[in-house]
Amino acid sequence: MKLKSSSNRCRLVVTGKTSGPSLYHLLQALGKERVLARIEKALAVMR
C-alpha cells in the first residue's frame, strides 16, 4: 500500500472526509484519545 493511499484512508476514518489539511496537523489538533476513539469506531463498523 502506498503512503498516499494509506494516509487518505486514515483521513477518511478520522475526519469523514477525503481531503483537507495535512493529516499530521489534523491528528495533532484532534489529539491522541480522540483519534484512537475514531479509529476504534471505524474498525467496529467494518467488522
Domain boundaries, the chain: 3-46
Q: For residue 20, what is its C-alpha cell?
A: 483537507
Residue 3: the pLDDT is: 59
Q: How far is CA 36 from CA 7, 15, 26, 43, in A?
A: 15, 12, 13, 10
Residue 11: the pLDDT is: 92
Exposed / middle / buried, residue 14 (Cβ in 10 Å: 0-12, 13-18, 19+)? buried
Residue 18: the pLDDT is: 87
Residue 29: the pLDDT is: 95
**Residues whose CB is less than 8 angstroms from the CB of residue 27 and which lie 6 or more positions away in sequence, other chains included:** 14, 35
**Cα–Cα distance for residue pair 25/31, rounded to 1 Å:** 10
> What's the predicted TM-score (pTM) here?
0.78
Which residues of the chain fall below pLDDT 70? 1-3
